[in-house]
Every structure is written in structure tokens, then in C-alpha cells.
Amino acid sequence: MVLYAGDGATSAELDDLKARYKRPTAIPFPEAAPYSPQLATLGKMLFFDPRLSGKQNLSCASCHNPSFGFEVPVAGAIGATNTPLGRKAPTVLNAAWIPTLFWDGRAPDLETQAMGPITADAEMDGKFPEIIARLKGTPEYAAWFAKLFPGKGVTQEAILTAIATYERTVVSGWAPFDRWVDGDEAAMAPAAQRGFALFNGKAGCAGCHTGWNFTDNQFHDLGLPTKDIGRAAFEPDAPLARHAFKTPGLRNLTYRAPFGHAGQFANLESIVDFYETGGIVRPSKSPLMKPLRLAPEERADLIAVLRSLTAEQTRTALPNLPN
Ligand code: HEC
Ligand code: HEC
């Protein structure tokens, strides 16, 4: 799908294209869990608190570490059973805009998602009755919950709501790309500008990586060699669901290697090499995946635009946890 003709395009066409990548001005919080700074602060404490795990040794941040773009620099994160998980921990950056969570989209919202890792024995191996008792027994936590959830206090639902609210505040910062889209021509190098044309044109990347977070939030089989059936676990009859995974957003890639649902790509160069092959031919493969011929300078331009989506590393202050 060619959205953009590169050199042949008029400046009006380029402006139109840029408009599709403009950053949103506000975070979408659901009506059931409106934002409050206190709720987000409580959620942040819980996100960093190992007491949410069975052995009190793993927190969400163990596998979603701010220094690594809210991921970990390994293919399979290590959970409670001390063996690597079969899938890579995806980022929680910009999760507020992601309608279905997990690589196969099995969670409909962040609240439901957060229950998964807390209770999964291979991840945090926690039990809610124990976690609730622990938090209730910590006076400062009990006071936070009593204030923010009047009449309810520490409950499973309150814990999940607080964590999800914090996650919605984790938004990738302004990158050179955003300043360029906003009208500052000099903010992004010419190589990356040429890469943006390729991304939307000949290379066909924008067929799936669209909008300011660079994802259509859909599931696609790229033709990767994998035994993981992906989305087909939930849509067994959909012909294109086999080996299909959710399109990941492309923000802050520089901090997030390795890449892909199994961390199978060590770096951006190896991903672009893969896209050039067009993937394995099989019935479920996305029709958008076709072999691609890039000249060496085009390859470099494409990688330049991917790098320009990374914001400067911001400081994430560690919360002091109550005890
Ligand atoms: C042991 C490592 C580990 C821990 C601990 C962990 N996660 Fe994850 N997380 C993962 C992996 C692996 C996936 C992808 C699993 C899949 O798609 O099947 C994931 C997926 C996610 C996603 C989905 C992102 C997306 O784009 O779909 C979110 C959000 C998330 N985790 C938040 C959390 C929260 C909140 C906690 C703590 C309550 C947590 N994680 C604890 C490893 C971990
Ligand atoms: C048919 C849809 C589709 C097209 C076209 C596509 N991608 Fe992807 N992209 C995906 C999916 C799905 C994944 C997850 C792959 C997996 O299953 O491991 C992905 C993963 C990635 C990643 C890794 C991100 C991460 O967080 O791990 C990068 C980088 C990337 N694509 C860049 C590109 C570039 C550059 C192009 C154009 C050459 C492109 N994509 C074309 C759907 C697509």
C-alpha cells in the first residue's frame, strides 16, 4: 500500500501526511477510572512494589523497567519460576491508547491485563487475598486506599484501577520526529525525512504502523518462523489470525531492544533485513508482507526515521514505598 509518493509529492500532500502523525493533546482516561494525581501516585507505588508477588521479589517494574523503555533487555523476561517467558515483555509506554493488551490481544483493558502477571505462576505468582492482607497491614497503604476508594479500601479492583491509572500516565516524550511534524524543519535530519517518505511509501511500513504511536493495534502474521500461534488462540477460525501478533508501537525503540514478540531481533538492522525478505510464504501471512528491495542508503534512511521516534531519556523517580 503506497500512501505517499516521496519525491513526487507536493508539500500539501506532505502536510496532510504529517497531520496523521500529530501527537494527541490529552490522555484518554476511561469514565470508570478518571485521572487523579493521587490515584496515579498510588498506582506507581504498586507498579514498583515487589509485595504484589508471591515471594515478594518481583514487581511490574522487574519486567517493565523505565530505563529500557518500560521493557527489559532480554528476549524472555525471567519470572517467579526462574525460567524465561516465551514472549518478550512489551512496553507499557502509551498503553492508554492501546485498545487490547498482550501480543495476542487477550485483555480488553489495562485493569484486566494487570491481573494476569500478578497471579500467573510463571510471572509474579501472587494471590490476591495475601496481597490485600499485606497492603491492609501497611498503615500508609491502608490510608491511601481508604481515602481514594471510600467505603471500599484495599480491594482487588482498587489495586488494579490504581495500577492501570498510573500506566495511562506513562507517555513517550517529544522526539525529533514530533518537533518536525509540528513544523520545525531542522528538528529531524534529512536522512530521517527521506526515511519517513519510504516508511509511508515504497517500504509499506505505514500499512500497519500508523498514527502518532505507529500502530494500527491490529494483528498480523508477518511470516516469522515461530511455533507460537498468537491471535489464533482466540480467533481459531480467522484465516489470518494464525501466528498473528499485535503491531507494536515504534516509540522509544532505542531503549527497547531486542524486538518482536519473542525478542527475536537483536537490533533495528536485523528487523529491516527481515522485512526485505517478505517473510515465509504461508496462508495466514498478511497480504501487506511482500519482499522489498532497498538500496543501502534507503536502508540507512529507514533506520534513521525509526531512531528519530525516540525521545530523550526522561528521569523516572523511584517511589518510596510505605512500610
Ligand atoms: C516476569 C515478567 C513480567 C512481570 C513481572 C510483569 N510483566 Fe507485564 N508483560 C510481560 C510479558 C512477557 C508480556 C507479554 C505477554 C503476552 O503477550 O502473552 C507482558 C505484557 C504486559 C502488558 C501489555 C502491553 C501491550 O502492549 O499489550 C502490560 C500493560 C503489562 N504487561 C503490564 C504489567 C503490569 C501492570 C505488571 C505488574 C502487575 C506486569 N506487567 C508484570 C512480562 C511481565
Ligand atoms: C503487515 C503489518 C506490518 C507491516 C507492513 C510492517 N510491520 Fe513492523 N511489525 C508488525 C508486527 C505484527 C510486529 C510484531 C512482530 C512479531 O510478531 O514479533 C512488528 C514489529 C516491528 C518492530 C519491532 C517493534 C517492537 O517493539 O518490538 C519494528 C521496529 C518494526 N516492526 C518496523 C517496521 C518497518 C520499518 C516496516 C516497513 C519496512 C514494518 N515494520 C512493516 C506489523 C507490520
- The last residue of one of the domains, among 121, 152, 168, is 168
In whole angstroms, how far apart are CA 164 and each of 42, 113, 176? 11, 9, 28
Examine residue 221 and state whether it is found in any structural domain, yes or no: yes
d(CA 93, CA 172): 6
> Could you say which of 100, 134, 168 is where a domain stops?
168
End-to-end alpha carbon distance in the chain: 56
180 and 63 share one domain: no
- Domain-embedded: residue 318: no
Note whether 161 and 43 are same-domain residues: yes
The residue written with cell numbers 502518532 in the block is 212
Provide the pLDDT for residue 10.
Answer: 82
In a shared domain, residues 133 and 191: no
Q: Mutate which of 62, 64, 167 to test ligand 1's pocket (most atoms within 8 Å of Cβ)?
A: 64
Question: Which ligand gives the minimal distance to the CA of 60?
Answer: 1
User: Is the residue at 300 inside a domain?
Assistant: yes
The Å distance, Cα 172 to ligand 1 centre, comes to: 18
Domain assignment of residue 149, yes or no: yes
- Cis peptide bond prior to 176, omega within 30° of 0: no
Q: Whose CA is nearest to atom 5 of ligand 2?
A: 205
Host domain of residue 274: 6-23+174-307
Cβ < 6 A, ligand 1 pocket: 58, 60, 62-64, 77, 79, 85, 87, 89-90, 92, 95, 98, 101-103, 110, 113-114, 117-118, 123-124, 163, 167
How many residues would you count in the chain?
323
Structural domain contains residue 320:
no
- Number of separate domains in the chain: 2
- Domain with 269 in it: what CATH number? 1.10.760.10
**Does residue 313 form part of some domain?**
no
State whether 112 and 162 are in the same domain. yes
User: Do 121 and 150 share a domain, yes or no?
Assistant: yes
Mark whether 14 and 55 lie in a shared domain.
no
How far does the centroid of ligand 1 lie from the alpha carbon of residue 108, in Å? 14
Picking from 149, 168, 187, the residue at the C-terminal end of a domain is 168
- 11-61 pLDDT, tens digit per residue, is 888 999 999 999 999 999 999 999 999 999 999 999 999 999 999 999 999
Judge if 302 and 180 occupy the same domain: yes
Is the CB of residue 101 less than 8 Å from the CB of residue 113?
Answer: yes
Whether 63 and 161 map to the same domain: the answer is yes
- Under 8 Å CB-to-CB from 159, ≥6 apart: which residues? 46, 52, 114, 128, 131, 132, 135
Q: How far is the CA of 90 from the centre of ligand 1 (A)?
A: 7
Pocket probe mutation, ligand 1, options 78, 93, 102, 247, max atoms within 8 Å of Cβ: 102
Residue 285 lies in a domain: yes
pLDDT-flagged residues of the chain (< 50): 1
Task: Clarify whether residues 229 and 303 are in a common domain.
Answer: yes
The pLDDT of residue 7 is: 61
Residue 206 included in any domain? yes
Instruction: Output the ligand 2 site: residues, CB below 6 A.
Output: 203-205, 207-209, 220, 222, 224, 245, 247-248, 250, 253, 256, 259-261, 268, 271-272, 275, 286, 288-289, 302, 306
Statement to judge: residues 137 and 160 lie in one domain: yes
pTM for the model stands at 0.96
Same-domain pairing of 178 and 233: yes
Residue from 194, 220, 231, 252 whose mutation best tests the ligand 2 pocket (most atoms within 8 A of CB): 220
Counting from 1 in the atom list of ligand 1, the atom nearest the Cα of 123 is 1
| Closest atom of ligand 2 to CA, residue 260 | 18
Q: Distance (Å, rounded) from C-alpha 175 to C-alpha 148?
A: 35
Within this chain, do residues 135 and 238 fall inside the same structural domain, yes or no?
no
Residue 105 backbone dihedrals phi, psi, to 5 degrees: 70, 30
